[in-house]
Structure 1
Amino acid sequence: MACIASLANAHEFWIDPVEPVVPEGGEVVASLRVGQAYEGSSYAYVPPNFRRFDYVWQGETRPVEGVIGDRPAATVAVEGEGLMVLIHVTTDTFLTWDTFEMFESFVRHKDAEWTLAEHEARGISHEKVREVYSRYAKALVAVGSGEGADAEAGLLTELVALENPYTGGAEDGLRVRLLYQGAPRGDAQIEVFEKDAAGVVTVSTVRTDAAGEAVVPAVPGRSYMLDAVVLREPAADIAAAKNVSWESLWANLTFYFPE
């Protein structure tokens, strides 16, 4: 847990399937990763670190079962074929920014510059700015044909794929919807990490429209990680108990667009 906290400064958290396409009757195996530029360390299955770790299969939501210390963190055997959606929600983690300049760089990078003026308006010190954050990650995995669809999972913030990349739904880009508290989050930045077969990563951004939707350009044979961050004031009880000034909520979605 301490390692995760030390890597938190603008580092993404994602679910990384070992194989995004598995044969019918095969096992879905996935790692939990924290890092930058779509590269990061793998973390074990540790229940105190998450509020929710589930998979959606053929219309049913079930918990990912594991033993403390399992790495990769998820190994799920299923019968039949279809689209599996893995879901992971972390517990809260607290951090203190080393410098205000680092915090400023972070909020600018995550398209939340409004927090800087609000920081001043609220009279918050620039010294030892405290933040609480949590992660809301999903991954799409094809089992056999991969037929099926992503859907809202009821997360505080989440990215929902409106098309299935494994069944020909991404030739002209993959449509996604960004939600916050169940409602579309319009005019928001989504960071797009694209990794090719050689492991080379390129980063770009798209913006959602008024309906919270955006089209992510997709190239066959590449893996994608989408990331969007909400910055907000923390709940009063947490702010008081933990001396926290800001809260960040990280939505993440990973998928592969096959040849």
Structure 2
Amino acid sequence: MKTNRVLTVVGLLLLGSIAYAHEFWLEPTKFLLKKNEQVLINMMVGEDYQGEHSNGHKYKILKLDHFAGTTKEDIRSKVTGDSLSRVSVSFATSGNHLIAFANSSKFIELKALKFNDYLRSEGLDNVLRLREQQGDTMKSGKERYQRCVKTLVQVAGKSDDTYALDTGMPLEIIPGSNPYSIGSTDRVTFRILFNNAPLSDGLVLAWHAKDGRTTHTKLRSNSQGEVTFPIERSGKWMISTVYMIPNVNQAESDWQSYWGSYTFGYF
């Protein structure tokens, strides 16, 4: 595998920073479970791997599937809460269980300079180049964005290959090895796919929240769509990335973005 290009070392994030705003993720109240133990899985939005419940009234859930080995279950009917942003589940079988979520696209429009700053902060160099080539850098950015997120839990201390499933979303993050099978610290490779093809040169972040502190590392994916991060077996983790393309329906918006995340943890 080619060496990843490191953009920055691990660093602290500041709340309110435009650079890392609006992440979306699935967050179980626990990641390591007993058989039939009830757990809440929350749909979260925010910064610095801290946030609040997403407002599920503002979008349609297109996918909320539970995967375990070769089985798949649609659990959209189990979504509850005033903001329609949590699901209570339990798992009767030992092993890894993967929850995948995708929603309908939402619209946003940003003024030109703010949109350009946002593109730079998310590493969306492809869009910046297109705007420059088309003379659009002083044009506001009209964007539709969709979430494509997953979380992995472990039941009864058993690991299996569920962690590596491609769940069929436009943007997929797939670990090359099981996060629950690593030692105290290990290197884990993650593959990024867009429409089933490797996404090269994508900016990928590894977030680590532990003892009330959040740190992150940023890497660019190689030609195989892969990045490798050192993972410590503590706290909670999120791997995230964003990809944006010109929208097919230009009357609807100029751009369509996809926000992906993959969470796991050790409590």
TM-score (norm 1): 0.86
Q: 1:101 to 1:88 in 2, by over 3 A?
A: same
Q: 1:163 to 1:170 in 2, by over 3 A?
A: farther
| Correspondence for 1:12 | 23
Aligned match for 1:160, one of 164, 171, 174: 174
Q: Report deviation, 1:47.
A: 9.7
| Correspondence for 1:101 | 113
Check conservation: 1:163, 1:169, Cα contact below 8 A. no
| Correspondence for 1:232 | 245
Residue identity (%)? 23
Alpha-carbon separation, structure 2, partners of 1:68 and 1:194: 28
Runs (4+) off by over 6 Å: none
Q: Report deviation, 1:231.
A: 1.3
Unaligned ranges ≥5, structure 2: 1-17
Q: 1:51 to 1:117 in 2, by over 3 A?
A: same
Q: 1:135 to 1:66 in 2, by over 3 A?
A: same
Q: Report deviation, 1:52.
A: 0.5
Alpha-carbon separation, structure 1, partners of 2:138 and 2:155: 50
> After superposition, where does 1:126-145 map in structure 2 within 5 Å?
126-145=138-157
Alpha-carbon separation, structure 2, partners of 1:134 and 1:146: 33
SS at match of 2:160: coil
Is the counterpart of residue 252 in structure 1 residue 261 in structure 2? yes
Q: 1:230 to 1:170 in 2, by over 3 A?
A: farther
Amino acid at match of 1:131: E
| Correspondence for 1:115 | 127
Is the counterpart of residue 183 in structure 1 residue 192 in structure 2? no
The Cα offsets for residues 181-203 of structure 1, whole Å up to 9 and x where unpaired, read as 1011123221111111x120012
SS at match of 1:172: strand
Larger RCO of the pair (alpha carbons < 8 Å, separation 6+): 2
| Correspondence for 2:41 | 30
Aligned match for 2:51, one of 40, 65, 68: 40
Q: 1:232 to 1:169 in 2, by over 3 A?
A: farther
Q: 1:200 to 1:139 in 2, by over 3 A?
A: same
Alpha-carbon separation, structure 1, partners of 2:231 and 2:59: 36
Check conservation: 1:224, 1:254, Cα contact below 8 A. yes
Which has the larger strand fraction? 2
SS at match of 1:217: strand
Q: Which deviates the most, 75-84 or 116-125?
A: 116-125
